[in-house]
């Protein structure tokens, strides 16, 4: 049987370039498809800031020129096969140079409009004709639009289906309409309120929502939330209108990378069979590393995050003193973000020596040690499309304390002391004292019902949040689109 050909189009991907969770999805998910049935490849920019260790491995394929914004633009095509997945990189130093993949919004709009056009233009050149183009976030929102416009009459693209995945609806690629028309090359036809116009501005993400054949997002709960005014970021009306084509598929994690059994970044490896004892050893080593009081019975709360309002740090700020008033609580923080939150944790580290460790930087290795060594993991997000940190903490048997929103609600089962069920703790309302109550409840379980706590640690580690489960759901969606495509051809 002929394979279904799928092209991922995205602005970032591990291990090549990463600024957020989008890169983890693009770098991990393609590895988990059934390769006997699906040929899944990835196309992305060849940024000059990609490390040489990867740029040097890229094989030059060819180059060509295409018209964009009243001039001829060079497009170089490079290829690299990694973990059995083929990656294509589009080279153009005018657009893809610099020390970071993103910059000013008005520059990024032109950059990713060019990338969307170039990605489609390159496919006939490399001879890969996808059945489905899977677009990710606003940076590729114009791919379905350009298919409807510049490439509509090209037989190469006849009946190509598109999926648009929302990773975070907050970021949409918005600018004034005259500038957007100039930068994208699209006519005024596309800038009406049933197409790319939204609130008197041009919106690239809206283009993907309007023109894609299917819309997905990264958890079932977030798919429901974004149809409401609070979470919908101005797109809730359109998403309600498109709800028949909208679905949620929860993200996964790369369980080969996040594996306490052989993780080289943690001090003591462990499995679900010896996790209780070995996690205690890791705790003592982390306490020593971070300058916390070495105490195997301390209740250590980990935080690995961007330090922003979206991640719930205004709640933590409100009750930080109350959390630290609880006996024998320690907090280990890793991350950067808003200055006020960075300074808050520095203050508490100074005020509570041996109880708070403020690591205002990012280290992948240290994040693994926090996941493996802490007792609980605090993640009280205002909104969270999916979230990956809670999946990583579950993988390492560190129990999440989360707010019931988006993927946090879908992946953390709240502890029920009467039935003995649960893999963590959760609270519903965005309220600091409701969060504090749950932190106290978690600590009470840890202190007074250690057998129940340890059983929950084991259940957490037994959860399967690998990409394999997510891949099966995407495959079902691809099959549905292929059936639709065959019906149209008949």
Mind listing the pLDDT tens digit for each residue in 343-391?
A: 999 999 999 999 999 999 999 999 999 999 999 999 999 999 999 999 9
In the prediction, which pLDDT does 295 show? 98
Give tens-digit pLDDT for 412-468: 999 999 999 999 999 999 999 999 999 999 999 999 999 999 999 999 999 999 999
The count of other CB atoms within 10 Å of the CB of residue 447 is 14
Q: Indicate the number of domains in the chain.
A: 2
pLDDT over 80 at 125, yes or no: yes
* pLDDT, tens digit (0-9, with 9 covering 90-100), for 272-292: 999 999 999 999 999 999 999
Please indicate, yes or no, if residue 269 is contained in any of the structural domains: no
pLDDT of 353: 97
**Claim to verify: residue 139 and residue 236 sit in the same structural domain:** yes
User: Both tokens of residue 259?
Assistant: 């594996």
Average pLDDT over residues 75-85: 97
Q: Are residues 364 and 229 in the same domain?
A: no
Query: Average of pLDDT values for 17-33?
Result: 93
The residues, any chain, with a CB within 8 Å of residue 351's CB and separated by 6 or more, are none
- Closest to 374 in 3D by CA, of 300, 304, 439: 300
Q: Does any domain span residue 73? A: yes
Q: Is residue 185 part of a domain?
A: yes
> Domain range spanning residue 387?
275-464
Q: What confidence tier does 5 reach under pLDDT thresholds 50, 70, 90?
A: very high
* 307 shares its domain with 433: yes
The reply to whether 262 falls in a domain is no
Q: How far apart are CA 214 and CA 243, in angstroms?
A: 10
DSSP string, 3-54: PEEEEEE-S-BTTTB-SSHHHHHHHHGGGGS-TTTEEEEEEEE--TTS-HHH
Q: Closest by alpha carbon to 117, among 153, 85, 141, 101?
A: 141
The residue assigned the tokens 């394929």 is 61
Q: Per-residue pLDDT for 490 more than 80?
A: no
For residue 259, is it within any domain? no
Give yes or no: residues 301 and 156 share one domain.
no
Q: Give residue 301's pLDDT.
A: 98
439 and 476 in a single domain? The answer is: no
Average pLDDT, integer, range 305-309: 95
pLDDT for 254: 87
Supply the pLDDT for residue 459: 98
For residue 359, being part of any structural domain is answered with yes
**How high does pLDDT run on average in the chain?**
96
| Structure confidence at residue 167 (pLDDT) | 96
pLDDT band with cut points at 50, 70 and 90 for residue 325: very high
User: 133-147, 205-219, 397-411, 476-490: which range is least confident on average?
Assistant: 476-490
pLDDT classification of 126: cutoffs 50, 70, 90:
very high
Tell me if 436 is assigned to some domain.
yes
The model's confidence at residue 1, banded by pLDDT at 50, 70 and 90, is: confident
Question: Is residue 214 situated within a structural domain?
Answer: yes
CB atoms near residue 433 (< 10 Å): 13
Return the pLDDT at 315: 98
User: Is residue 111 scored above 90 in pLDDT?
Assistant: yes
The two beta strands, 174-175 and 201-203, are: antiparallel
C-beta of residue 89 within 8 angstroms of C-beta of residue 57: no
Give residue 487's pLDDT: 87
91 and 176 share a domain? Answer: yes
Selection from 123, 95, 130, 116 nearest residue 211 by Cα: 116
pLDDT of 70 over the 80 cut? no
Predicted structure pTM score: 0.92
Q: Supply the CATH number for residue 403's domain.
A: 3.40.50.2000
pLDDT digits (tens, 9 = 90+) for 31-54: 999 999 999 999 999 999 999 999
Stretch 327-333: mean pLDDT? 98
Residue 312 clears pLDDT 80, i.e. is over it: yes
In this predicted structure, the answer to whether residue 106 has a pLDDT above a threshold of 90 is no
The answer on pLDDT for 230 being more than 80 is: yes
Beta carbons of 401 and 439 less than 8 angstroms apart: yes
Q: Where are the alpha helices (DSSP H) in 212-338?
A: 220-225, 236-241, 275-290, 313-325
Long-range contact pairs involving 478-484 (C-beta distance under 8 Å, separation at least 24): 478/4, 478/6, 478/38, 478/131, 478/132, 479/4, 481/131, 481/132, 481/161, 481/163, 481/213, 481/214, 482/4, 482/131, 482/132, 482/161, 484/161, 484/213
d(CA 335, CA 340): 13
Q: What is the pLDDT of residue 55?
A: 97
* Angstrom distances, CA of residue 480 to CA of 71, 75, 163, 476, 484: 40, 34, 12, 6, 6
């Amino acid at each position: 049987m002929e394979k279904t050909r799928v092209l991922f189009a995205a602005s970032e991907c591990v291990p090549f370039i990463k600024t957020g969770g989008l890169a983890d999805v693009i770098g991990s998910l393609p590895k988990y498809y059934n390769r006997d049935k699906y040929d899944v490849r990835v196309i992305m920019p060849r940024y000059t800031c990609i490390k040489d260790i990867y740029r040097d491995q890229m094989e030059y394929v060819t180059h060509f020129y295409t018209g964009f914004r009243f001039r001829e633009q060079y497009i170089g095509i490079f290829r690299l096969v990694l973990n059995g997945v083929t990656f294509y990189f589009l080279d153009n130093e005018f657009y893809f140079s610099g020390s970071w993949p993103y910059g000013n919004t008005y520059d990024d709009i032109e950059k990713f409009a060019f990338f969307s056009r170039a990605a489609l233009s390159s496919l006939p050149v490399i001879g890969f004709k996808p059945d489905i183009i899977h677009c990710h976030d606003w940076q590729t929102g114009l791919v379905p639009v350009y298919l409807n416009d510049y490439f509509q009459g090209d037989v190469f693209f006849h009946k190509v289906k598109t999926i648009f995945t929302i990773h975070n609806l907050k970021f949409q690629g918005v600018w004034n309409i005259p500038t957007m028309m100039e930068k994208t090359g699209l006519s005024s036809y596309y800038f009406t309120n049933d197409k790319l116009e939204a609130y008197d501005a041009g919106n690239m993400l809206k283009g993907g929502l309007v023109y894609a054949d299917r819309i997905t997002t990264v958890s079932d709960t977030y798919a429901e939330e974004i149809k409401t005014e609070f979470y919908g970021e101005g797109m809730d009306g359109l998403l309600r209108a498109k709800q028949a084509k909208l679905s949620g598929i929860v993200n996964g994690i790369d369980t080969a990378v996040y594996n306490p059994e052989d993780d080289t970044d943690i001090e003591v490896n462990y499995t679900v069979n010896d996790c209780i004892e070995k996690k205690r050893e890791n705790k003592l080593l982390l306490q020593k590393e971070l300058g916390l009081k070495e105490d195997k019975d301390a209740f250590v709360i980990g935080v690995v995050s961007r330090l922003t309002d979206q991640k719930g740090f205004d709640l933590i700020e409100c009750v930080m003193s109350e959390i630290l008033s609880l006996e024998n609580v320690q907090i280990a923080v890793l991350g950067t973000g808003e200055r006020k939150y960075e300074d808050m944790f520095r203050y508490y580290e100074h005020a509570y020596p041996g109880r708070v460790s403020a690591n205002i930087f990012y280290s992948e290795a240290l994040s693994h040690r926090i996941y493996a060594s802490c007792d609980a993991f605090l993640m009280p997000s205002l909104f969270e499309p999916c979230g990956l940190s809670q999946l990583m903490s579950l993988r390492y048997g560190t129990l999440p304390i989360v707010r019931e929103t988006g993927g946090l609600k879908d992946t953390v089962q709240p502890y029920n002391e009467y039935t003995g069920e649960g893999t963590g703790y959760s609270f519903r309302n965005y309220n600091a004292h409701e969060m504090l109550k749950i932190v106290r409840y978690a600590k009470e379980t840890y202190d007074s019902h250690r057998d129940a706590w340890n059983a929950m640690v084991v259940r957490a580690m037994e959860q399967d949040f690998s990409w394999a489960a997510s891949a099966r759901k995407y495959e079902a969606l691809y099959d549905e689109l292929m059936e639709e495509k065959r019906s149209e051809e008949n």
